[in-house]
Chain A
Amino acid sequence: MFRLSFFALLFAILAGCQSQTLYYWGNYEEQTYDYFKDKPISELIEKLEELKEEASAQEKPLPPTFYAHLGLLYEKSGNTNKFKELLIEEKKKFPESAVFFEMFLKERNANVKTN
């Protein structure tokens, strides 16, 4: 009985240590690597949307670059609206990115509502 509670405590501490990251990562970096290795875009979108759900379920924020990268995937699969939406999300969460994304969207002749 004592041994069980000891391990439960140890597990809780270790689990606590594990979740001390600022953001939810899952295998996001691996997904980025897969993109550079030209894996099919639809698969990558599916995996990242799953990851998004996982983060939401754990109530952890998504990391810098996530929304923008997912947006790029949507843009490459023809969904310009989703692309704009996600870039705006990234800009909102990380205002440091504003200059870049405004330029990026402009270069693609997209019309963006700046807040």
Chain B
Amino acid sequence: MLKLINKFKFIFMLIFSIALSGCEAAKFDYTAFKASKPSSILVLPPLNESVDVNASSAVYSSVIAPLSESGYYVFPPTLVMETFKQNGLTEARPIHDISLSKLNEIFGADAVLYMNIKKFGQSYSIITSANVVSLEAYLIDAKTGTEIWRGQAAASSDENSNNNMGLAGLLVSAVIKQVVGQIFDAGFPTSKVANSRLLFAKTPNSLLYGPRHEKFGTNGQ
């Protein structure tokens, strides 16, 4: 009888430690990020894999808050877009292909964020239709060209916004009101939630806190 209990104990501990080690492996390695120490981030207009024409504007407009509130200076999307336009570039793909040295010459940013919108728009199920936004991004050290961070996040207008971990938790009342009020353009509020999950330092595996935040330099997040 005792032997049986011990066997179960052993199996339980084995499963538990495997599960834990699995969780450990999912943490992002911030070594390169810490070595880079960026203060300013240039977000390029996002690539868009969706068919929604509003996707890029909605996503590009909502990177400002999560990055700023994480303690970084972020370059104004509208002026960045204006600069590219003046140089004959309006599409994200050729903008993403610009060399780092050229970007450094124009902007002088510490790091460059390349974003891709994987999903944006209405998603229908039997019960309901929701607005979904799915993003991925990687951050490059502007001087060395090293990738210092990579991440992905998604949001749906359908979910219960009880997640107070991200920036959305601080601005949540406005987001909820908008989702309720703007059923036909829930893409923007949903983009805000997705971006806050992707880029706000408080979210696990997101960016580290930047120099303008009091938590800058605290270990990990």
Query: Using a CB–CB distance below 8 Å, which chain A residues touch chain B?
Result: 17-18, 20-23, 25, 27-30, 32-33, 35-37, 63-65, 68-69, 72, 90, 94, 96-100, 103-104, 107
Digitize B166-201: 1 where CB-to-A-CB distance is under 8 Å, 0 elsewhere.
010011011000100000000010001000000000
* B64 near A97: Cβ-Cβ < 8 Å: no
Give the interface of B toward A (CB within 8 A). Answer: 39-40, 54, 57-58, 60-62, 64-65, 68-69, 71-79, 81-83, 86, 105-110, 167, 170-171, 173-174, 178, 188, 192, 212-213
Assess whether A65 is in contact with B74, with CB atoms less than 8 Å apart.
yes
Asked if B78 and A36 make an inter-chain contact with CB atoms under 8 angstroms apart, the answer reads yes
Say yes or no: A97-B57 contact (C-beta < 8 A), given A21-B170, A65-B64.
Answer: no
A13 to chain B, nearest CB (A): 13
CA–CA, A21 and B109, complex, Å: 24
Q: Evaluate whether A28 and B64 lie within 8 angstroms (CB atoms) in the complex, with A72-B79, A100-B108 already known.
A: yes
Question: B57 touching A36 by the CB < 8 A rule?
Answer: yes
B77 (CB) vs chain A CBs: closest residue: A32
**Would you call B86 and A63 a contact (CB within 8 A)?**
no
- Given contacts A36-B57, A69-B79, A107 and B86 within 8 Å (CB-CB): yes
Asked whether A64 and B73 contact (CB < 8 A) given A97-B40, A107-B86, the answer is yes
Give the nearest-CB partner of B170 in chain A. Answer: A21
B108 touches A23 (CB 8 A): no
Q: Which residues of A contact B39 (CB under 8 A)?
A: 96
Known contacts A32-B64, A103-B106: A65-B171 contact under CB 8 Å: no
Q: Nearest-CB distance from A78 to chain B (Å)? A: 16
Q: List 9 A-B contacts (CB under 8 A).
A: A21-B69, A25-B171, A29-B62, A29-B65, A35-B78, A37-B57, A63-B68, A68-B76, A69-B79
| Shortest Cβ distance from residue A22 to the other chain B in the assembled complex, whole angstroms | 6
Q: How far is the CB of A98 from chain B (nearest CB, A)?
A: 7
Interface class of chain B by DSSP = helix
Supposing A33-B57, A103-B106 touch, asked if A68 and B79 sit within 8 A by C-beta, the answer is yes
Partner of A29 from B61, B72, B213 at Cβ < 8 Å: B61
Chain B residues with Cβ below 8 Å from A107 are: 83, 86
* Contact present for A23 and B68 (CB under 8 Å): yes
**Bound state CA distance, A103 and B86, in angstroms?**
13
List, in ascending order, chain A residues with CB within 8 A of B74's CB. 64-65
Q: B63 → chain A, closest Cβ, in Å?
A: 9
Besides A64-B68, A69-B76, 4 more A-B contacts (Cβ < 8 Å) are A22-B71, A33-B188, A64-B73, A68-B76
CB distance from A16 to the nearest CB of B (A): 11
A98 proximity list for chain B (CB < 8 A): 108
A66 to B118, CA, bound (A): 28
